[in-house]
Amino acid sequence: MGKHIQTMVDHWLIKLLMCSVFILNAQLAHGAKFVNLTFLEWAVPKGAVCLDGSPPAYALDEGIGDGANSWVLFIEGGGWCSSKADCFDRSKIPIGSTLLKSSPFFSGILDNNQTLNPDFYNWNRVYIPYCDGAPFMADIEEVDPETNVTYRGARIFDAIMDDLLAKGMKNADNAILSGGSAGGLATTLNCDKFRGLLPNAGRVKCVADSGTFLHGKHLIGTKYRENYFAH
Per domain, the residue ranges of the chain are 1-30, 33-228
pLDDT mean over 148-176? 98
Residue 203 has pLDDT above 80, yes or no: yes
pLDDT digits (tens, 9 = 90+) for 97-138: 999 999 999 999 999 999 999 999 999 999 999 999 999 999
pLDDT digits (tens, 9 = 90+) for 20-72: 444 444 444 455 699 999 999 999 999 999 999 999 999 999 999 999 999 99
Say how far apart CA 82 and CA 229 lie, in whole Å: 5
Higher pLDDT, 200 or 23: 200
Say how far apart CA 104 and CA 128 lie, in whole Å: 9
**CA dihedral for 108, 111, 113, 117, sign (positive or negative):** positive
pLDDT of residue 107: 95
pLDDT of residue 115: 95
Say how far apart CA 88 and CA 199 lie, in whole Å: 38
Say how far apart CA 203 and CA 195 lie, in whole Å: 9
